[in-house]
Structures are given as C-alpha cells and as structure tokens.
C-alpha cells in the first residue's frame, strides 16, 4: 500500500489543532450537574472545574481542539482561512475519542470542546463531529462534558443527532452585524448562522417533554450512513447553547454589540455570549491594524456589562444609548450607570429590596443576598455589611445604614467621580495596559461572588 | 480551672470529644476541645482529659446536628472538621453551642464570631477542594491503576475520594496524601477506603508495581504539548497564571515541572 502523504504523528496534530482552536474563548465547562453512573466514565459539575492554566493565564478545562483546520472557507480574520499558508491537519473521530478518554482518566480535563474548520463540506464536517461524539458516548461510555460546534449549513438532521450526544452546542455569530460578516467572511451568511441556533433553541425547549411523564418521541428518520441512536432518556443539548462574537475587527460600537447580545439571550435563549478581543493574525487589508494590541479593556467592559444583563436585571438600553454608545474607559458599567442616576440614591441598606441593592456599586449578588438574609434578625451597620463582602469605598456614596451615610459626602456626579477614580478599579492584569490579559469567563470577581456560598454544595454532594 | 478535652483529629474523634464535653456538664465556658496533633504540652490551671474515639457517640452528635440545626449546617461542620488550620475542634464546639440553642437560623448570624469561624473554615476547605478537583493528576501504572499524589493544607482525602468515586466508579485508583500519610484506595465498583501508609514506596510495594504503563509517558507528552500550544502569545500573562494556579499546587503536576518523569 502506498500512502499519499505521511501520517502526522499525534503530538504534531494535537499541536496544530489545539493551536488553531485557542482563539475560541467559549471554554467554560458545564453548567449542569450529572452524576456518574455504573459502567460509564465521568460526571459533570455545574460549577465547572479548572484543570490547569495556560501561559496566558486562562483556565484550561476542556480539551479544546479543532477537528480539522483543512478549511475550504476563507474568512479574512481567521488564521486557518484557505488562502493562509499554515500547517494543516485533521483528526479521525476515533483519535479524538481516545485522546479525550485518556486525558479525562488522568484528570487533565472536564471534557471535550470540539470545534472545526470546514472539511470538504458542512455536511461532511458535521458528520465527522457527530461520529466522534457517538464513539465517545456509546463505545467508551463517556459521561463527562462535551461542547461541540454546530456547523452552519449542515443538514438539520445531523445537528439534531449531534445534539442528543452533546451537553452544549454553539454556533458562532462571529461578527455583531450581518454587514460585517459578509464583508469579512464571504462564505458565511447571517441567515445560515441563525438557522441552527433556532433549531437548537427549539430542541432544548422540548427537553421538558423528554423529562416529563408524557415523554414524547421525536420522529427522527433513520439514515443509513450514521449509526442509529437510542433516543429514550437522552436530552437534547441539556447545558444549552452559547455563541461568540469577535470584538474590534469591525466598526460596531459597544451599544450595538450589547444589543445583539441581549437579543441572543432573549430571542434565542442563549446561556452565554462570549466576546473575543480581536487578535490580528492574518494581516488582511480589510482588517484594522491594532497598534496597542487586542482591545482587552473593551472586552473586559463588555463582559462586565454582560454580567449585569444576566444577573443584575439590567437592560442594554439602561447602560448605553445612541448618544453614549461606548463604555467609559475609566469606570465599570455599573458605576457608570449609578453616576448617571444619582436621583435614585442613596438607598437604605435595611430596607431597599434585593434588586435595588444589586444596583449599588460595591454590592454584588452574594453580598446583596447576605444583606437580605441578615437584616431579618438585626439592623445592619456599615461594619456588618463590610463583613458581608460589600466594598465600602465604592458603595459609600450610594447607601445609608439606619438613615446615616458613612461619611458626610456630597451626592454629586463630579465629586463622586473624582473620588472613585482616586481609588483605582482593580482591573485584571494586562487589561488596559501593555501585556496580557486574564480570562474573565470563569473567574472574574463577579463570578466568584455568585459561585461561592450559594453554590458551595457543588462538588460536595451527599 | 479549664478542662481540655484532647481528641483524635478525625471527624469521629472531634465529634466524640464534643459528645464527652457536652455530657460532662462542666459548663461550656470551662471547656476547651483540642485535637491531639495540635497539643504542644500542658498549660497551667488546665485539666486534660483524653477522649477515646467512639463511633456511636460521634454518630449521635452528627444526628443531632442534622436534626436540630439542619443538613446544611452539618455539611459545614463536617468540612470544618477537615480544616487544616489550628483550633478546629473548639471552633466547631462553640458553633454547636450556639446552633443547638437557636437552631437553623444560626446560619444567618454571619456576623457572630462563632459562626464566622466555621464559615471561614468551610469556605477555605471548599476552595482548596475545588482546586484539587482540578489540579490533581493521575498517572497510569503498568497494571492500569490510576495513581496520584497530593499535599493539601486541609484534610481533603475523604472529600476527594467521594468526588472521584462518582467520576471514576469503573476505574481502580489511588490517591496518596503525602503530608498526612494516608491513601484513598478505590477498587472498581466498590466504595473507596482510607488507609494509613507511611510512604509511597510502601504502597507501591504492596501493589507490586513500580512502572508506569507504556502509554503513560506518551500521554504526558501529548498533554504537555496541548498545554503549551493552547496559550495565546499576544496575551502572555505569567502573573495571572501564578495567581490562578499557585505554585504549591504544582508539586505533582508534571506539565509544570517536567523533570519529574
Ligand atoms: S470557516 Fe472561516 S473561521 Fe472557520 S476555520 Fe474556516 S476560515 Fe476559519
């Protein structure tokens, strides 16, 4: 037998295809709890687990790889675009499955995050991804976490099959507007991206039937190419879907971006939207040259604002507007909002309702909950709420305890602004200056706030 | 006169100590509970009483915590008993005095020093546990057993044992706690057990295995390759990396000190 090209060894392949996947930021694991079962390997914890940290300080939780970078598309921002001269490689479904199991058993990872370039055609690629998951779930009985990309333009049937094997699926929006997309990704279009998103949304909504007593079987036509799947007991994408946008490759402002994110949450029931500061790897003439490196501070502000949308009851139009379409470089979005709404302050800690407390700078989800709980039995003072995690030097302009403010301060925009700028906001290292950046997805301060205490049952069941 | 109850450092030991102290009726303020390994010689005006660990007494204490204060509080106390910082037995005792007096709402009294002490221990244990759930590394021995070494500040072995029993129920694995010289051993399909083992060598000798499996070295290389290539150069940030993965966790992580193999 003659081989047309020599097989790359596994290490080389892994290097090429993890290198190619590293710009994908959507690497949080889980969001669901699933206990281990006999005769299977693995479980998942809703809080997710970081197994290592890469040299850029980001959490490594999943085996994050591309199935292939032998891509037939030519997206201008992508290092793997057809016209770019990079080393190419593809895995086989079995290789990915084995590697996942071997890594998982050594406790290197929580599971697999499988993305891919377009090999031959969207259908062919989706088939390969589906096959990989099938081997993992049904041959290796892998019960850990799997996040897989749905390839726009692939047969909905393939997406459906894959969805019953995956925990999370994502379709990347890539760029905030359809216009930007058609300019930078000539082979893609917005409609083809939204279609599988809708399909996944509808599929997950039906999980309620699958769980309930009146389990309704979905009619799935059998195709001879793919192995048949047992549908009973299986849930469709139980951890929901996420998406990702590149920030700074196209001229959209923060307001447009946040609006898009908001509608993805509301209209497509997304679990997470990820923002990826644009790193110029291709130097295409259609792309902006970023003198000061990737727009990390902007990305940071967007994550903060995103957090406010999801957990603090804010709306995009409260944080930004046509007139003021970009975030303040110097202030986090919540402070910025509070300064623009001084008429709502100060609020009384012992009386204000939970959502009002949440809007106070320096009070997070966790401290707000603690306050609400603790004030049932006692009248709270500044010393008490400090112990509960309230950052007083930020909150002091906006609250009273027992009718009194901490210091006699003026409730006036310039005055507060000056004081706030004096005690500097703690930015993740690298953001807003030279150097690198920190992954905000998993461990930003906000998240810590939410994760601890309430969720401490996580991993400590029984 | 202060009466000091000296108990074993295990959860059963501490709970027995609490049982004995409680039923002595000497008055809570005259009592202190200490674990033996934290005892560094007698103090003046103290009477020392040695506690014999008694499973039944310990279970009674556990049951009353659950019944009178609630399951959430029980879990918190249990984890605090695993905490590695000095003084855990007495902290728990104080917390329980308050808890038995006022019931489940003790958990809401966050500003009370007795409550705060247990909360902090609990939180510290959870935090370290979460780290070890991620940073613990298994290597495959030649006979297929997954083997791991750890050196946590808190006594995490029982909690990690639970976690990995759920995750790897179908595998044979061993976690050896270097500092406390104990191992959690799990055999496919049955619950794990804890065992005192003075040295890793003793353990390996018992198993009759010294080598890693054939694939082990290759797999470690693959993993190392992955970790190296997944970092984004433009965002290099070692300070951040160190902050998220402090050096003390890296002792047994070969991808960060590859000389070990
Ligand atoms: S489809 Fe576009 S973004 Fe995806 S790998 Fe191919 S060129 Fe890159």
Q: How far apart are CA A69 and CA A66, in angstroms?
A: 7
A1 touches chain B (CB under 8 A): no
In this structure, the dihedral spanned by the alpha carbons of residues A299, A303, A309 and A314, taken in order and rounded to 10 degrees, is: -70
Mutate to test the pocket of ligand 1, among A20, A65, A75 (most ligand atoms within 8 A of CB): A75
Q: How far apart are CA A74 and CA A71, in angstroms?
A: 8
Cβ proximity of A250 and A274 under 8 Å? no
Q: How far apart are CA B165 and CA A41, in angstroms?
A: 10
SS3 state at A407: coil
Cβ proximity of A331 and A304 under 8 Å? no
Residue-range domain boundaries for chain B: 2-127, 136-249
Q: How far apart are CA A395 and CA A348, in angstroms?
A: 12
Average pLDDT rounded to a whole number, residues B162-168? 93
Q: How far apart are CA A111 and CA A31, in angstroms?
A: 13
* pLDDT computed for residue A31 by the predictor: 54
Q: How far apart are CA B89 and CA A280, in angstroms?
A: 57
* pLDDT computed for residue A452 by the predictor: 30
* pLDDT computed for residue A142 by the predictor: 93
CA A235–ligand 1 middle distance (angstroms)? 29
Strand partners, B237: none
SS3 state at B26: coil
Cβ proximity of B151 and B122 under 8 Å? no
* pLDDT computed for residue A415 by the predictor: 82
* pLDDT computed for residue A435 by the predictor: 30
CB contact under 8 A, A99 and B222: yes
Q: How far apart are CA A29 and CA A61, in angstroms?
A: 6
**Ligand 1 atom at minimum distance from A66 CA:** 5
* pLDDT computed for residue A220 by the predictor: 39
Q: How far apart are CA A248 and CA B20, in angstroms?
A: 67
Tokens of B200: 């890793």
Q: How confident is residue B242, by pLDDT bands cut at 50, 70 and 90?
A: confident
Q: What is the ipTM, given to two decimal places?
A: 0.89
Tens of pLDDT, residues B177-206: 999 999 999 999 889 999 888 888 888 888
Q: How many CB atoms lie within 10 A of CB A177?
A: 17
SS3 state at A449: helix
What average pLDDT does the structure give for chain B? 89
Q: How confident is residue B222, by pLDDT bands cut at 50, 70 and 90?
A: very high
Kind of pairing, strands A399-400 and B139-140? Answer: unpaired
Question: Any residues with CB less than 8 A from the CB of A50 and at least 6 apart, and which?
Answer: A59, A60, A61, A442, A443, B134, B244, B245
Q: How far apart are CA A379 and CA A129, in angstroms?
A: 58
Cβ proximity of A106 and B223 under 8 Å? yes
Whether ligand 1 lies within 6 angstroms of the CB of A80 is answered as yes
Tokens of B213: 């499996």
Q: Which helix (H) or strand (E) holds A399?
A: strand A399-400
Lowest mean pLDDT among A293-297, A439-443, B45-49, B66-70: A439-443
Q: How many CB atoms lie within 10 A of CB A325?
A: 15
The owner of tokens 């699926």 is A169
Distances (CA, A) of A226 to A117, A124, A263, A360: 21, 12, 35, 54
Q: Is B190 left (phi over 0), alpha (psi -120 to 50) or beta?
A: beta
Q: Which of residues 168-227 of A touch B (CB under 8 A)?
A: none
Q: What is the mean pLDDT of each run of 10 residues along chain A (462 residues)?
A: 59 91 62 68 78 82 93 91 92 96 94 94 96 96 93 95 94 91 90 93 84 44 38 77 91 94 94 89 85 83 93 92 88 89 91 93 91 88 89 90 85 80 66 37 33 30 26
CB contact under 8 A, B226 and A14: yes
* pLDDT computed for residue B137 by the predictor: 94
Which of A106, A388, A430 has the CB atom closest to B110's CB atom? A388
Distances (CA, A) of A444 to A240, A301, A417, B135: 22, 12, 24, 19
Q: How far apart are CA B199 and CA B79, in angstroms?
A: 26
Q: How far apart are CA B196 and CA A414, in angstroms?
A: 65
* pLDDT computed for residue A416 by the predictor: 83
């Amino acid at each position: 037998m003659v081989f047309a090209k020599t097989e790359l060894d596994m290490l080389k392949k892994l290097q090429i295809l993890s290198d190619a996947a590293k710009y994908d930021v959507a690497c949080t694991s889980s969001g669901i709890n699933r206990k281990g079962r006999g005769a299977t390997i693995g479980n998942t914890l809703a809080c997710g687990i970081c197994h290592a940290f890469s040299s850029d300080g980001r959490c490594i939780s999943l085996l994050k790889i591309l199935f292939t970078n032998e891509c037939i598309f030519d997206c201008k921002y992508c290092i793997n675009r057809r016209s770019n001269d990079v080393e190419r490689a593809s895995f086989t479904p079995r290789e990915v499955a084995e590697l996942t199991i071997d890594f998982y058993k050594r406790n290197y990872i929580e599971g697999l995050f499988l993305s891919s370039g377009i090999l031959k055609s969207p259908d062919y690629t989706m088939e390969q991804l589906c096959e990989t998951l099938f081997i993992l779930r049904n041959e290796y009985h892998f019960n850990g976490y799997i996040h897989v990309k749905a390839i726009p333009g692939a047969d909905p049937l393939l997406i459906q099959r894959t969805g019953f094997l995956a925990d999370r699926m994502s379709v990347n929006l890539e760029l905030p507007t359809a216009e930007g997309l058609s300019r930078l990704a000539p082979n893609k279009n917005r409609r083809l991206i939204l279609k599988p998103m809708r399909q996944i949304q509808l599929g997950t909504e039906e999980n309620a039937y699958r769980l309930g007593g009146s389990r309704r079987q979905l009619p799935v036509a059998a195709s001879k190419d793919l192995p048949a799947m047992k549908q009973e007991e299986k849930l469709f994408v139980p951890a929901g879907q996420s998406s990702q946008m590149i920030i700074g490759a196209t001229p959209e402002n923060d307001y447009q971006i946040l609006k898009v994110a908001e509608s993805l949450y509301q209209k497509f029931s997304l679990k997470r939207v990820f923002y990826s500061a644009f790193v110029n790897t291709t130097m295409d003439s259609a792309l902006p040259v970023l003198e000061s490196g990737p727009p990390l501070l902007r990305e940071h502000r967007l994550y903060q604002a995103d957090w406010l949308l999801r957990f603090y009851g804010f709306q995009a139009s409260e944080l930004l507007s046509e007139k003021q379409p970009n975030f303040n470089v110097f202030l986090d979005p919540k402070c910025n909002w509070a300064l623009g709404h001084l008429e709502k302050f100060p609020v009384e800690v012992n009386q204000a309702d939970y959502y009002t407390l949440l809007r106070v700078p320096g009070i997070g989800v966790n401290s707000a909950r603690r306050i609400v709980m603790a004030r049932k039995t006692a009248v709270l003072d500044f010393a008490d709420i400090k112990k509960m995690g309230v950052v007083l030097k930020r909150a002091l302009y906006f609250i009273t305890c027992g009718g009194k403010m901490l210091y006699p301060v003026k409730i006036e925009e310039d005055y507060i602004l000056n004081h706030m700028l004096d005690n500097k906001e703690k930015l993740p290292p690298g953001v807003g200056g030279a150097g690198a950046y920190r992954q905000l997805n998993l461990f930003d301060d906000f998240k810590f706030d939410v994760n601890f205490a309430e969720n401490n049952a996580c991993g400590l069941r029984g | 006169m202060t009466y000091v109850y000296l108990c074993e450092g295990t959860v059963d030991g501490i709970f027995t100590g609490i049982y004995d102290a409680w039923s002595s009726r000497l008055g809570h303020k005259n009592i202190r509970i200490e674990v033996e390994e934290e005892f560094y010689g007698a103090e003046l005006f103290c009477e020392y009483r040695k506690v014999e660990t008694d499973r039944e007494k310990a279970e009674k204490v556990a049951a009353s915590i659950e019944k009178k204060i609630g399951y959430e509080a029980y879990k918190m106390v249990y984890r605090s008993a695993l905490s590695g910082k000095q003084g855990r037995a007495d902290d728990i005792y104080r917390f329980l005095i308050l808890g038995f007096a006022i019931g489940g709402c003790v958990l809401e009294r966050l500003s009370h020093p007795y409550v705060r002490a247990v909360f902090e221990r609990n939180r510290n244990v959870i935090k370290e546990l979460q780290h070890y759930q991620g940073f613990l590394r298994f290597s495959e021995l030649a006979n297929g057993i997954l083997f791991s070494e750890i050196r946590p500040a808190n006594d995490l072995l029982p909690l990690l044992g639970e976690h990995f029993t759920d995750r790897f129920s179908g595998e044979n694995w061993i976690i050896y706690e270097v500092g406390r010289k104990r191992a959690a051993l799990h055999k496919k399909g049955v619950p794990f057990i804890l065992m005192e083992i003075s040295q890793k060598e003793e353990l390996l000798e018992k198993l009759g295995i010294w080598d890693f499996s054939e694939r082990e070295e290759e797999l470690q290389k693959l993993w190392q390759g992955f970790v190296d290539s997944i970092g984004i150069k433009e965002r290099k940030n070692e300070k951040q990396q160190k902050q998220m993965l402090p050096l003390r966790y890296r002792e047994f992580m070969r991808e960060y000190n590859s000389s070990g193999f």
